[in-house]
Chain A
Amino acid sequence: MANSTPEGTMRLEVFRYFPEKGEEPHFQTYEVPFRKDWVVLDALNYIKDQSDGSLTFRWSCRMGVCGSCGVMVNGVPKLGCSAFLRDYYPNPIRVEPLANFPVLRDLVFQLDSFLEKLKSIQPWIVRRDGEKPVSDGEYLQTPAQHARFKDFSMCINCMLCYAACPVVGMEPHFLGPAAIALAQRYNLDSRDAGREQRQETVSSHDGIWQCTFIGQCSAVCPKHVDPAGAIQQAKLASTVDWFKEVLWPFGGREKR
């Protein structure tokens, strides 16, 4: 599995939960070889291959683009494929499922609530006047127009931000960082005309207004999306809208 040589061992304390056994969750301790180039995901796969085939966890690309392997490492949300053992060695590591989601088994959590929230903000280009025919060519966009939403488009739906946000934990209906950042991604896209449609959800009490700008969502994001920034920008835009609506109630709706 690696080109490096093992340099000792490391201890992992992994959250285990067997729903069919009807017991409370517990931690199981494993010794894994320490290799300088290994990440937590390598250690979990070593355990599954060599020690305990019952250990259950999600993973796929192992290179930080699929968003599947999110776990809590010593209480901090991380991608298992991006958390290097050498950053913790020689201390033991505690691996738990991502916070603020129901836990199905071991490190596997139920992510339906996130998918519902994501769907609710309509994460697709909404055209106002229909599609132009293919013969008319592409929709052109300048680099500056692209830059407006590019960072927000980098989200890999890994849900680390949801695990980092206490408000997500305390208010189950809060839209959450990634969903709002993705709403902004489309709202700021020059090809999109759906901002007004999304406002119903985004600017509701369970949308941006539950956020208290703790900021840990942006701190843990592996793709530097800065969802906290997206939310504050959405608050500002919604406030401007609110004033416009109050001061010019009969004014025409502006395309943004």
Chain B
Amino acid sequence: MAKSNEPIWWFLFSAGGVVAALLVPIHILLIGIAWPLGVLPADALEFSRMQALLAHPLTRLYCFVLISLPLFHWAHRFRFTLADLGLHGAAMLIAVLCYGAAIAGTIVAALTLWG
């Protein structure tokens, strides 16, 4: 009954959407805005502490999920956004590029975290 393989992409899109909704804002706020503007202590993101944090296997798993799933969320949504904007001719190419980029990003994340 697997008439099309859309379900797997939609599932990854949904999972990525949940991860993005719950986790992405706080990361942007703390790392990208609060710390650079000096709202947080200057040593909040200090090298040795971050390195120690990342050494923990659960932290690496967390980072992998935080990077990979939102990438698939972007890929699926962007693919359909381009279609909604009228780009129908290159539909297959767009799908391959979008999911391909998400897969590539996932591989790079895995290599970075566990390579």
Contacts and interface: CB of A to CB of B under 8 A. Distances in A.
Interface in A222-253: 235, 238-239, 241-243, 245-246
A204 interface: yes
A167 interface: yes
29 contacts: A167-B84, A170-B86, A171-B88, A196-B1, A199-B1, A199-B3, A200-B3, A203-B7, A204-B4, A205-B3, A205-B4, A205-B6, A207-B3, A209-B4, A209-B10, A212-B80, A212-B81, A212-B83, A214-B84, A235-B7, A238-B7, A241-B1, A241-B2, A242-B1, A242-B2, A242-B11, A243-B7, A245-B2, A246-B2
Interface in B77-93: 80-81, 83-84, 86, 88
Interface in B1-49: 1-8, 10-11
Contacts of B88: 170-171
A170 B10 CA distance: 21
Given A167-B84, A170-B83, A204 B3 contact: yes
A241 B7 CA distance: 9
Given A204-B3, A205-B4, A246-B2, A239 B84 contact: no
A246 B8 CA distance: 10
A15 to B, nearest CB: 24
The interface size bin for chain B is 10 to 19
Interface string A174-218: 000000000000000000000010011001110101001010000
Contacts of B7: 203, 235, 238-239, 241-243
Contacts of A171: 88
Contacts of B8: 242
A239 B1 contact: no
Contacts, number: 50
Contacts of B80: 212
A123 interface: no
A92 interface: no
- Size band of the interface chain A makes with B: 20 to 34
A166 interface: yes
A173 to B, nearest CB: 12
A203 B1 contact: yes
Interface in B58-95: 80-81, 83-84, 86, 88
Given A235-B7, A242-B5, 18 more contacts: A166-B84, A167-B84, A170-B83, A170-B88, A200-B1, A203-B1, A205-B4, A205-B6, A207-B3, A209-B4, A209-B6, A212-B83, A212-B84, A214-B84, A241-B2, A241-B7, A242-B1, A246-B2
Nearest to B80: A212
A239 B11 contact: yes
A145 B96 CA distance: 42
B84 A170 contact: yes
Contacts of A209: 4, 6, 10
Nearest to A214: B84
A205 B5 CA distance: 9
Contact of B4 (A166, A196, A203): A203
Contacts of B11: 239, 242-243
A243 B5 CA distance: 10
B20 to A, nearest CB: 16
Contacts of B10: 209, 235, 239
A204 B5 CA distance: 9
